[in-house]
Chains A and B, each alone.
Chain A
Amino acid sequence: GGIITQTPKFLIGQEGQKLTLKCQQNFNHDTMYWYRQDSGKGLRLIYYSITENDLQKGDLSEGYDASREKKSSFSLTVTSAQKNEMAVFLCASSIHKSNERLFFGHGTKLSVL
């Protein structure tokens, strides 16, 4: 079996700061995703990547950048953290352009002071 590893598990930032979240998968999956979950709300797609060096915007891409330099890794950057922001960011992967099965990481919990 494989695993998706997200780092860090907890991230505390300052207002206006640029923050980077990392995700690694060893499934050899083509497609990777970043989701955001706010308290009481469903998961919302920020960015996804069909293959290495590909980037596609999701519904929530404003305020974020993403990078897929290698097939196994997909990073997400919060370009300017918002004061009192709190959310969990989930990375996921799937074999290729299919939603047959998504494998998720454990999440990165972001708090902005």
Chain B
Amino acid sequence: GDSVTQTEGQVTVSESKSLIINCTYSTTSIAYPNLFWYVRYPGEGLQLLLKVITAGQKGSSRGFEATYNKETTSFHLQKASVQESDSAVYYCALGEDGTQVVGQLTFGSGTRLQVYA
């Protein structure tokens, strides 16, 4: 089956410090997985943060970056300097090529980021 493992629980970071949330994936059925990071801000629905569909490429959005590493099966989320407004729950997800299959994503358990001033 497919699975996604990400940094568990809560990560607390001081404003302007760097951040990394780890994500590794495993799949036995998807030849060319697409990888996603979703975010849920307090009081809002889950929304797409960034997506990468090709191994070796990097996605970026709102100062966050993630590189699709097929060798290490990883898709870690990084930001050089976090802000209080980044406080949210972040989900790593894995899916098949969107052009072929209905959207079924395998999600990680979520990592709560708390940024303090």
Check A103–B47 contact: CB distance below 8 A: yes
Q: What's the least CB distance linking B52 to chain A, in Å? A: 12
A/B pair count, beta carbons within 8 Å: 72
Report B's interface with A, CB cutoff 8 A. 4, 8, 34, 36, 38, 40, 43-48, 51, 91, 93, 95-96, 98-99, 101-110
- Nearest chain B residue, comparing its CB with the CB of A43: B107
A-B contact pairs, 5 of them (CB 8 A): A42-B108, A56-B102, A58-B104, A97-B102, A98-B99
- Nearest chain A residue, comparing its CB with the CB of B45: A104
Q: What's the least CB distance linking B77 to chain A, in Å? A: 15
The 8 Å CB contact of A98, one of B38, B44, B45, B103, is: B103
Q: What's the least CB distance linking B80 to chain A, in Å? A: 26
Q: What's the least CB distance linking B13 to chain A, in Å? A: 21
Check A40–B109 contact: CB distance below 8 A: yes
For A31, A94, A102, A106, which residue has the most chain B Cβ atoms within 10 angstroms?
A102
Determine the chain B residues whose CB is within 8 A of the CB of A97 once the complex forms.
101-103
Q: What's the least CB distance linking A92 to chain B, in Å? A: 8
4 closest A-B pairs by CB: A99-B103, A104-B46, A42-B107, A43-B107
A70 at the interface (CB under 8 A from B): no
Check B48–A31 contact: CB distance below 8 A: no
- Known pairs A48-B104, A98-B99; A42 contacts B45 (CB<8 A): no
- Nearest chain A residue, comparing its CB with the CB of B106: A42
A21 at the interface (CB under 8 A from B): no
Cα-based distance from A5 to B24 in the complex (angstroms): 32
For A94, A99, A104, which residue has the most chain B Cβ atoms within 10 angstroms?
A99
- Known pairs A40-B109, A41-B109, A42-B110; A99 contacts B45 (CB<8 A): no
